[in-house]
């Protein structure tokens, strides 16, 4: 064993770690998570509906301007219940929301808020037929239109599919991003993990499902990378505390803050979603019921753009691509993006590829 080599490596690591600590101290409490200007247009229990103001200061090239005529139909973003939608506007310079606005979209966003003990009986019927419907009503009344376009992300895509099935007259077109449809594909680590869990006992014991517990579950799916390697990589990448490194540290802090900002889940909605989708795989079988009504995606006769990430460890591509077998061929289009489940919303390259393409598609189906 080379003791001197080990000592030198340890010393080098300690110096890099010291640089990292200096960078972290510079950002302590100074970072914001939301950059795009928006206005609160509806409060409905815990839910808040935001309308984003088009940013007149975004610099556009002539090529951008030629392709960014305003999309006529407003877009309502339905995010997952299990995470915060702030990921879409987390990092200045490559915000997904900013790219949507730049691409000509009229953007509304649902913020589900933080359920508390009084919300444990809220079910999928409430989230879909009451809350999403209230948002659609507000948008239609405000803009004097009859239909909106929905953009459902992850679990929010499932909610969007259900809403479109139950209220087809209210939806002009639907975009799903990293949305699970077939919950029993291989390999699907998350599905295999929860398939045999006694959800009834969990809900009976806990009421609401703690967000911290869900965060730990998601991290456990890739324990080495998500709980060790990324921190080691951060130390190695911050040896020199230059401006690029400071930006890297700031982005890392924002991502960590988002990862661990997990709302508790209303017990009844969690029970219905896990049992109906993950355990019984009812969505792809067209036997899922919401509010007593069957969700039959084969009857969905609106344009659908389905976007999946080719390196997604939470929603395998096969799980998303299964939607193709349920939607009429003349109404379905799909797009593969290089990246992971969350990376496609924060990677500058992915953001610049995805959202202009979505805008172009919506422009044709608006």
154 is catalytic: yes
Instruction: Out of 154, 162, 277, 293, pick the active-site residue.
Output: 154
Residue 298 CB: number of other CB atoms within 10 A? 11
Tokens of 10: 């340890």
Compute the 3-state secondary structure of the chain and give helix, strand, coil in percent, each to the nearest 5.
50, 15, 35
Tokens of 158: 């499932």
Cis bond upstream, residue 187 (ω within 30): yes
C-alpha span between 106 and 74 (Å, rounded): 5
Length of the chain: 366
- At a CB cut-off of 8 Å and minimum separation 6, what does 347 contact? 94, 339
DSSP per position, 261-325: ----B-HHHHHHHIIIIIIT-HHHHT--EETTEE--GGG--S-EEEEEETT-SSS-HHHHHGGGG
Which residues are 309's β-sheet partners? 337
Residues marked active site are found at: 154
């Amino acid at each position: 064993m080379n003791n001197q080599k080990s000592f030198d490596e340890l010393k080098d690591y300690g110096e890099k770690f010291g640089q990292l600590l200096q960078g972290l101290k510079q950002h302590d409490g100074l970072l914001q998570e939301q950059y795009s200007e928006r206005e609160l247009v509806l409060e409905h229990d815990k839910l808040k509906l935001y309308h984003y103001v088009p940013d007149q200061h975004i610099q556009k090239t002539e090529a951008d301007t030629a392709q960014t005529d305003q999309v006529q139909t407003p877009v309502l973003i339905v995010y997952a219940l299990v995470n915060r939608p702030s990921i879409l506007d987390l990092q200045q310079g490559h915000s997904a929301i900013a790219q949507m606005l730049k691409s000509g979209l009229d953007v509304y966003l649902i913020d589900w808020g933080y359920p508390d003990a009084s919300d444990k009986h809220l079910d999928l019927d409430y989230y879909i037929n009451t809350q999403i419907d209230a948002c659609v009503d507000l948008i239609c009344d405000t803009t004097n239109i009859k239909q909106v376009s929905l953009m459902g992300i992850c679990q929010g895509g499932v909610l969007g599919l259900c809403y479109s099935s139950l209220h087809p007259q209210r939806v002009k077109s639907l975009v799903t991003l990293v949305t699970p449809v077939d919950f029993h594909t291989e390999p699907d680590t998350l599905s295999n993990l929860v398939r045999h869990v006694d959800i009834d006992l969990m809900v009976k014991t806990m009421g609401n499902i703690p967000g911290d517990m869900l965060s730990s579950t998601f991290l456990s799916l890739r324990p080495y990378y998500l709980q060790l390697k990324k921190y080691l990589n951060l130390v190695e990448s911050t040896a020199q505390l230059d401006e690029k490194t400071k930006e890297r540290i700031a982005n890392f802090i924002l991502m960590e803050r988002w990862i661990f900002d997990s709302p508790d889940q209303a017990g009844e909605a969690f029970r219905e979603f896990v049992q109906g989708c993950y355990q019984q795989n009812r969505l792809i079988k067209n036997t899922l019921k919401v509010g007593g009504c069957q969700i039959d995606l084969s009857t969905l006769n609106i344009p659908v753009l389905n976007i999946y990430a080719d390196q997604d460890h939470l929603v395998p591509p096969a799980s998303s691509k299964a939607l193709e077998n349920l939607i009429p061929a003349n109404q379905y289009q799909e797009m593969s993006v290089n990246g992971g489940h969350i990376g496609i919303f924060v990677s500058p390259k992915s953001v610049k590829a995805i959202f202009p393409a979505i805008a172009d598609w919506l422009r044709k189906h608006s």
